[in-house]
Amino acid sequence: MENQEKRASASMKNKDLSIIIVDDLQFSRIVVKTALKKAGYDGVRLADSATTALDMLSEKPADVILADWMMPEMDGLELTDLIRQRDEESGTYTAVILFTANEGIDLLVEAFDHGVDDYLRKPPNPHELAARVNAAARIAIMQNDMLETSRQMEETIRNLEEVAMIDTLTGAGNRRFLMSQLKSHLLEASSRKGGVALAMIEVDQLKDIRKKHGDKVCDELLVGIQRRLRRAIRPTDTISRLDEDIFAVLMHYTNIDNYKESSMARLQGNINQRPFKSSAGDIPLTISIGVKYYRGDQEIISANEMVKQTLKKLDEAIDKGYDSIAF
């Protein structure tokens, strides 16, 4: 907050604010502009109607709008409503000060309810005018600073969410990524009568290797496995790592009958074709695979159920012994 106030103060000293004066009376516009000019404000534009002021805002944002409350076609409150709508759409804030000859608390309450920041009696005192513009501009600058900070935080959160869907070791997706993709593919397959194959892959020897060589060697092998799996699947297929030993491969088919069980043997063959190089030397590996295939002409199942059934198939493959596949 202290930094925001410093930035606001700096802007006040420079007098480089963008200000729009809106009044259907030319004399009133000139009087206000002259008073602001004497106070050191140079970025002043004049509008003879609310519509013209809105056009000016579209061309270039303003820090402060000074508008007469009573104008033909569109009064100051209606103009304020449209300014607030534009601010909401653009993620900015524009301070609004209304000139009024009206008396009474009820009218002022109505003005503040519409989002007006301040008001001045007509004709305005030049010193009071400059002070109110200064205060309103400070509010606008601090609000815009906070909005910008909020945008940056949202961008950071989006980036973190993207990172949170990646397994940092292998570069494959993580469980969250798998569930997001699986939900999407199941819905598409169900609506378009396609198919979804989910394969759960466990490295058979990894627990023993970890005991013998430690985490570093296991990490090297996991990275190598992800790379071989990537080469064995189509560009549209995805790989995720669920935990230390288990990878998931998700395949989507636009035609129900395009899925072939032989594609799983190809995955297995790519892992088994040669030993993996590691800091502990060349290490041969085998994998067990559990597979569940969902056909879009069946009743749709949830992503959680799909994962549950696939893991059950993986358990069946492990029970068969190393280098097995269960469909």
Please spell the DSSP secondary structure of 58-118, one letter per residue: HHS--SEEEEESS-SSS-HHHHHHHHHHHHHHHT---EEEEEE----HHHHHHHHHTT--E
pLDDT confidence of residue 14: 39
Give the pLDDT confidence score for residue 41 in this predicted structure: 92
Whether 8 has a pLDDT exceeding 50, the answer reads no
* 171-226: pLDDT as tens digits: 899 999 999 999 999 999 999 999 999 999 999 999 999 999 999 999 999 999 99
Q: Give yes or no for residue 138 having a pLDDT over 50.
A: yes
Using the predicted structure, report yes or no on whether residue 322 has a pLDDT greater than 70: yes
Are 223 and 80 within one domain? no
Between these two residues, 213 and 16, which has the higher pLDDT value? 213
Average pLDDT over residues 248-276: 91
Q: Are residues 249 and 125 in the same domain?
A: no
Inter-residue contact 118 to 97 (CB < 8 Å): yes
DSSP, res 274:
S
Please state the separation of Cα 63 from the chain's center in Å: 27
Question: Which CATH number goes with the domain that contains 126?
Answer: 3.40.50.2300
CA dist., res. 212 & res. 286, Å (int): 17
Q: Is the pLDDT reported for residue 56 higher than 60?
A: yes
Do 250 and 183 lie in one domain? The reply is: yes
Q: Residue 321 belongs to what domain range? A: 175-326
**CATH code of the domain containing 214:** 3.30.70.270
Assigned domain for 206 exists: yes
Q: Check residues 235 and 160 and name the one with the higher pLDDT.
A: 235
- Total residue length of the chain: 327
Please report the pLDDT score of residue 199 as a whole number: 98
Average pLDDT over residues 14-23: 83
Q: Mean pLDDT: which of 148-152, 266-270, 300-304 is highest? A: 300-304
On whether residue 228 sits in a domain, the answer given is yes
* Rounded Cα distance, 50 and 116, in Å: 15
In a domain, 281, yes or no: yes
Q: Which of 12-16, 77-81, 142-146, 284-288 has the lowest mean pLDDT?
A: 12-16
In this structure, the answer to whether residues 205 and 97 fall within a common structural domain is no
44 and 145 within one domain: yes
Residues 117 and 245 in one domain: no
User: Would you place residue 5 in the very low, low, confident or very high pLDDT band (cuts 50, 70, 90)?
Assistant: very low
> Does the pLDDT value for residue 1 go beyond 60?
no
pLDDT band, very low/low/confident/very high, at 7 (cuts 50, 70, 90): very low
Cα dihedral 185, 189, 190, 191 sign: positive
- 151 and 268 in a common domain: no
Q: Is residue 25 part of a domain?
A: yes
Same domain, 51 and 97: yes
Instruction: Tally the C-alpha atoms within 13 A of residue 264's C-alpha that lie toward its C-beta.
Output: 25
Residues 133 and 197 in one domain: no
Of the residues 126, 160, 194, the one at which a domain ends: 160
Domain assignment present for 121: yes
Which of 133, 160, 187 is at the close of a domain?
A: 160
Residue 263 clears pLDDT 60, i.e. is over it: yes
149 plus 7 within the same structural domain? yes
CA atoms of 234 and 251, how far apart (whole Å) = 8
Lowest mean pLDDT among 5-19, 123-137, 153-167, 298-312: 5-19
Segment 59-82 shows an average pLDDT of 93
User: Quick check: is 165 in a domain?
Assistant: no
- What does the mean pLDDT of the chain come to? 89
What is the per-residue pLDDT across 141-151, written as a single tens digit (0 to 9) for each? 998 888 888 78
Measured CA to CA, the distance from residue 188 to residue 180 in angstroms comes to 13
Last residue within a domain, chosen from 160, 192, 223: 160
* Residue 11: band (very low, low, confident or very high) from pLDDT cuts 50, 70, 90: very low
Question: Does residue 169 fall inside a structural domain?
Answer: no
Q: Taking 80 as the threshold, does the pLDDT of residue 13 lie above it?
A: no
3-class DSSP assignment, residue 146: helix
Question: How far is Cα of residue 169 from the mean position of the Cα atoms in its chain?
Answer: 24
Q: Looking at the structure, do residues 179 and 46 belong to the same domain, yes or no?
A: no
pLDDT on residue 244: 76
Question: Percentage of the chain surpassing pLDDT 70?
Answer: 93
pLDDT given for residue 15 in this prediction: 62
- What's the structural domain count of the chain? 2
The pair of structure tokens assigned to 241 is: 């790592």
- φ/ψ (deg, to 5) at 16: -100, 30
Q: What is the CA radius of gyration of the chain?
A: 33
CA–CA separation, 268 and 325 (whole Å): 9
Cα 234 from Cα 223, distance rounded (Å): 19
Residue 170 lies inside a defined structural domain of this protein: no
Together in a domain, 155 and 6 = yes
pLDDT of residue 157: 63
